[in-house]
Amino acid sequence: MSLLPVGEALARLLDSAAAETPRAVEQIALSEALGRVLATSVQAKCDVPPWDNSAMDGFALHSTDIPLACAQGLPISQRITAGMAPGPLVPGTCARIFTGAPLPQGADTVEMQENVEVDATGRARFLQPLRPGQNVRPRGQDIIAGTTLFDAGHLLLPQDMGVIASVGVSSVQVSAPLRVAILSTGDELVEPGTPLGGGQIYNSNRYTLLGAVERLGQQVVDAGILPDEPAATRQRLEQLSQQADVILTSGGVSVGEADYLGQALREHGEVDLWKLAIKPGKPFTLGRFAGTPVLGLPGNPAASLVTYLLLVKPYLLRRLGCQAVKPQSVPVPASFSWNKPGSRDEYLRAHLGTAGIELTGNQSSGILSTASRAQGLVLVPAGTQVQPGQPLSYFPFTGLLG
């Protein structure tokens, strides 16, 4: 069986996500909306800024009075601070004004206070030539009322929250979160806090995946550890398919005799894709059990993390209606050599050094600590050798983790 290229696997995963029933729509307060995916577009309810205002602490005047302001100075007829609604400017005068305060009708120019001297008679003398219109932030400079700010499918970042607040919108419609079951498989697994018996290891994937899914703002159905046993596997999948919108599993999808997860899907559910041309992560599986999608991640901790970031996260986001889900990379020169061209695309744990991408150490799929030392993944495509200086695609975790 030939291995499926990662790009094709991702395309099929995204198609499968898009074919699921769309999420319900929830109306929530803007203050609760960080990290959620918009279900409907957001329009600007007002101009931003809503009126012409001063960009400086200084003096506002009309540009026709500039020659007079520089020659003899202008009387100061009013004082305007942020939050005031000023009356019109008396012609031939200027107004003391502060940053963010509305320009009075009849003023169109502001001089910063450092360039103005107020003399003993209270006149403001403008010390330098001014440019008409300077230091004014015009109404609608940032946003025009009625503009579509964000389309449905946009994932809300902190700056988006600010933009939406700036137009006075206090609630948004978002996709209901997914219930994501997380199930670790393996007789060898025990939870931290319990002493290790012979042959046992601590369940680390549960924590990595819980963290990743919680960070994505989804509801976790924490399904604990599943023993390597066929009947228990079927039973647990049956149960979780009732409780969750998607089941994430780790382990049990390789070709070993104790890999009952894959077996249960093949025999009692379905397998839509299996075995990818990716390292680490070859055993990744997309299947279905009792109607519920099952994303089978490899048991090896680094493989589990890498396939989550490159495949599962985009899948989950697409289920929420998000459009921009493909992992983003930037070209960065390598500062390492890689002499063993592989038969699979290899995603190495890496970070940015002064001369380019550096690897963080052991790249075996069972080693997780090098992922904690990394800031991203670097792609060495199948069949490629790498020399220092060669540009490679670097996927920063900040983008991958969202």
| Residue of 251, 283, 287, 327 that binds Mg ion (CB under 5 A) | 251
Query: Residue 345 CB, nearest distance to Mg ion (Å)?
Result: 24
Q: Which residue is associated with the tokens 């600590």?
A: 369
- Closer CB to ligand AMP, residue 188 or residue 346? 188
- Closer CB to ligand AMP, residue 135 or residue 184? 184
Specify burial of residue 105 (Cβ count, 10 A radius: 0-12, 13-18, 19+): exposed
Return the one option of ligand AMP, Mg ion, none that residue 184 interacts with (CB less than 5 to 8 A, by type).
Answer: ligand AMP
Binding site for ligand AMP (CB under 6 A): 184, 186, 188-189, 201, 203-206, 250-252, 254, 256, 298-301, 366
Under the binding rule (CB under 5 A), the answer on residue 186 touching Mg ion is: yes
Under the binding rule (CB under 5 A), the answer on residue 262 touching Mg ion is: no
Q: Using CB under 5 A, which residues numbered 272 to 301 contact Mg ion?
A: 299
- Two tokens, residue 25: 């729509």
Query: Residue 183 CB, nearest distance to Mg ion (Å)?
Result: 12
- Closer CB to ligand AMP, residue 252 or residue 356? 252
Q: Using CB under 5 A, which residues numbered 82 to 121 contact Mg ion?
A: none
Total residues contacting Mg ion (rule CB under 5 A)? 4
Query: Residue 252 CB, nearest distance to ligand AMP (Å)?
Result: 5
Specify burial of residue 65 (Cβ count, 10 A radius: 0-12, 13-18, 19+): buried
Stretches 214-222, 251-259, 343-351, 387-395: which one binds Mg ion (CB under 5 A)? 251-259
- Closer CB to ligand AMP, residue 54 or residue 300? 300
Contact (Cβ atoms closer than 8 angstroms) between residue 263 and residue 289: no
**Orientation of helix 230-243 relative to helix 260-268, angle to 10°:** 70
Return the one option of Mg ion, ligand AMP, none that residue 391 interacts with (CB less than 5 to 8 A, by type).
Answer: none
Chain positions contacting Mg ion, by CB under 5 A: 186, 251-252, 299
